[in-house]
Amino acid sequence: MKWAVAAVCVALAYLLPALRLPALTTPEPDWATLLFVVAVYVLLALGLNVVVGFAGLLDLGYVGFFAVGAYSVALLTSPNSGVPAGWPWLAALPVAIVVTMLSGVLLGWPTLRLRGDYLAIVTLGFAEIIRVVASDPTSVFKGDRGISDIPHPAPFLRHADGTPVFGVTDARPYYWLTLTLVIVVVFAARNLDRSRVGRSWVAIREDEDAAEAMGVPTFRFKLWAFAIGAAVGGLSGSLYAGTQGFINSASFELLFSILILAGVVMGGSGNLPGAILGGVLIAYLPERLRGIRAPAWLGGQDLFEWRYLMFGLVIILIMLFRPQGVIPSRRRALELKDRDG
Amino acid sequence: MADVLEVDGVSLRFGGVLALDGVSFAVREGEIVGLIGPNGAGKTTCFNAVTGVYRPTAGEIRFRGQRLAGRKRYQITKLGIARTFQNIRLFREMTALENVLVGADARHGTSVPGALVRAPRHWAEERAGRELAMDLMRFVGIDRRAGELARNLSYGEQRRLEVARALATGPTLLCLDEPAAGFGPAEKEQLLKLIRDIRDRGVTVLLIEHDMRLVMGVTERIVVLEFGRTIADGTPAEVRDDPRVVAAYLGVPTDAA
């Protein structure tokens, strides 16, 4: 039964680009591009959920990993990056994931001995360091000018008329590719959750000292959570770079980390459907607001401009009335309740 | 009988406070040893030193001949020292069974790659862990509550669950930190039997306990601490009649205990 529901959901998700309901679509960007953006956010939410939801480590700098992934691909593939590699996107992808994973380990190694707020501050600093380094125009990352001509994935795949499947005109292939990766990541996260690893994460989240005393190598498993989260962030960044063909330092603002975190928390931290819903919410809602005008007495701007105000409101409301998220993990909900009590 | 645990001249200083001052005692295989002393004598500190929470400032702790210095807490657990906590520290939002499974995982080696691809070892360890966990829950008498969240268990059941979780790690030495705290007479009687059963399973027991009747009734040897020093070490009868113990710890005629 559960599998049947999941299969129907997956089938529906793949068919979504064909489903142009006027109530869902937005004037800009086109429906398929919007779906792709949503899928990337879902991927990011799933990755951050491993760190924040499963292992209970507050990471405020998740965009840093997204950036490391994107820049790794950009440097390795683009003909006008400073690195004379010029690899195809597909070859750069695994390298980018490994590099991001290593960056996660490198950041986690000294910092995962810290707890709670301290870790949050360090991760925040990490993301800012990445952004500041990238925004130096004299660096290999070229600051605002950015890196252009990043090749699309799989240029060898072509339609009957010879145009590449992954091109600039049609976003659907990117969506399907990202959706497939989302499904892979969901399965991976689920397998981890229901294993010794997942149990250890819950134990660490609930009482790190007791976990260590029961033989859980807490540091090692926290590092794993960090590395896995980073790898998924790097994967998302690679996809983003491959789709846009261009990245610059402005793409990796701190706000982005906060947004993803807000999505995970809103949707339901520690729960896969919750994280997915969170990713959908943060990506879809602002676009849905686009093109809707505020009443004249409020200034009459496009509601899209109000997106962060709206998010703030939504987050406050959810925290007030449903602090465990929309689709919470049963366990996390109780942990929150306990902390209040 | 060989010594399982040797605490050899262990001192532990926190700033200006000397919490342990050259404590020495040994626990032999298959024994039930009591560690007693007035409040603040350093009993729990001593436990924490043995389980690797604190690193001794001086002295040495050996477990089955191996020095514990420099080992991490989880490594000490894997070597075979398990513990319970004075104030219950279960994973409250996990089920009782899951709590014991976390303990059982100390015997297992599946990590991220094995869990990701569902390696045969993952399945084997999950099965073995579940069997062991259910067996231990039966042993402590809470198997009917296996699927219940730990937070929903009664106080007594939670204490038993902590014992089951600690036993699941496969210890040679089990350190119980005031397991009878908050227990009524009937529950204490059951606990007494449980401690003996644990020993009969081949696990050596080191017990911190305030209840003198319980300590005298179940232990074969008692180590008495006062102000971080060992002031007596002997059979319950010897310790009971030791004038220093009477003066320092009981402060009342021994027959009241």
Q: Give the CATH number for residue B240.
A: 3.40.50.300
Query: Which amino acid is it at B177?
Result: D
Query: B63 pairs with which residues across the strands?
Result: B5, B66
Q: Looking at the structure, do residues B132 and B21 belong to the same domain, yes or no?
A: no
Task: State which of B146, B170, B194 marks the end of a domain.
Answer: B170
CA quadruple A332, A334, A340, A341: dihedral, nearest 10: -160
B88 inside domain: no
Q: What is the mean pLDDT of residues A200-215?
A: 94
Given the structure tokens 């730990």, which residue do they identify? B150
Residues B116-170: tens digit of each pLDDT: 999 999 999 999 999 999 999 999 999 999 999 999 999 999 999 999 999 999 9
pLDDT at B205: 96
Interface check B122 vs A, CB under 8 A: yes
Please state, for a pLDDT cut of 70, what percent of chain B lies above it: 96
Q: Looking at the structure, do residues B178 and B257 belong to the same domain, yes or no?
A: yes
Nearest by CB to residue B74, choosing from A195, A207, A216, is A216
B89 inside domain: no
Lookup: tokens for B88 = 């219950």
B91/A206 CB distance under 8 A: yes
pLDDT at B207: 94
SS (H, E, C) B116-166: HCCCHHHHHHHHHHHHHHHHHHHHHCCHHHCCCEHHHCCHHHHHHHHHHHH
Lookup: tokens for B164 = 């089951």
- Residue B191, Cβ density class (10 Å: 0-12 exposed, 13-18 middle, ≥19 buried): buried
Interface check B93 vs A, CB under 8 A: yes
The arrangement of strands across the sheet holding B17-28 comes to B17-28, B3-14, B58-63, B66-67
Q: Looking at the structure, do residues B183 and B162 belong to the same domain, yes or no?
A: no
Q: Looking at the structure, do residues B251 and B183 belong to the same domain, yes or no?
A: yes
Q: Looking at the structure, do residues B176 and B146 belong to the same domain, yes or no?
A: no
B86 inside domain: no
Q: Where is mean pLDDT largest: A9-18, A19-28, A94-103, B11-20?
A: A94-103
Question: Would the pLDDT of B29 be above 90?
Answer: yes
Rounded-to-integer distance, Cα A248 and Cα A131, Å = 10
Q: Looking at the structure, do residues B253 and B182 belong to the same domain, yes or no?
A: yes
Kindly indicate the confidence band of residue B256, based on its pLDDT and cuts at 50, 70 and 90.
very low
The arrangement of strands across the sheet holding B204-208 comes to B81-83, B173-177, B204-208, B32-36, B221-226, B229-234
Lowest average pLDDT, out of A62-76, A136-150, A270-284, B8-22, goes to A136-150
Q: Looking at the structure, do residues B128 and B101 belong to the same domain, yes or no?
A: yes
In a 3-state reduction of DSSP, which class is residue A5? helix
pLDDT at A159: 77
B74/A210 CB distance under 8 A: no
B67 inside domain: yes
Supply the range of the domain harboring residue B191: 1-80+171-257
Q: What is the mean pLDDT of residues A9-31?
A: 78
Task: State which of B117, B145, B170 marks the end of a domain.
Answer: B170
Query: B82 pairs with which residues across the strands?
Result: B174
A196/B93 CB distance under 8 A: no
B166/A214 CB distance under 8 A: yes
Q: Strand B173-177 vs strand B204-208: parallel, antiparallel, or unpaired?
A: parallel
Q: DSSP assignment of A294-319, as one string?
A: PPGGGT--BGGGGHHHHHHHHHHHHH
Task: State which of B151, B170, B189 marks the end of a domain.
Answer: B170
State the count of interchain CB pairs (< 8 A) between A and B.
107
Q: What is the number of other CB atoms lying within 10 angstroms of the CB of residue B253? A: 8
Q: Looking at the structure, do residues B233 and B157 belong to the same domain, yes or no?
A: no
Question: Would the pLDDT of B218 be above 60?
Answer: yes
Q: DSSP assignment of B18-83, as one string?
A: EEEEEEEEEEETT-EEEEE-STTSSHHHHHHHHTTSS--SEEEEEETTEE-TT--HHHHHHHTEEE
Q: Looking at the structure, do residues B196 and B143 belong to the same domain, yes or no?
A: no
Query: CA nearest B166 in A: which residue?
Result: A214
Nearest by CB to residue B118, choosing from A191, A217, A334, is A191
Q: Looking at the structure, do residues B177 and B70 belong to the same domain, yes or no?
A: yes
More confident residue, A337 or A247: A247
* The total number of structural domains that make up chain B: 2
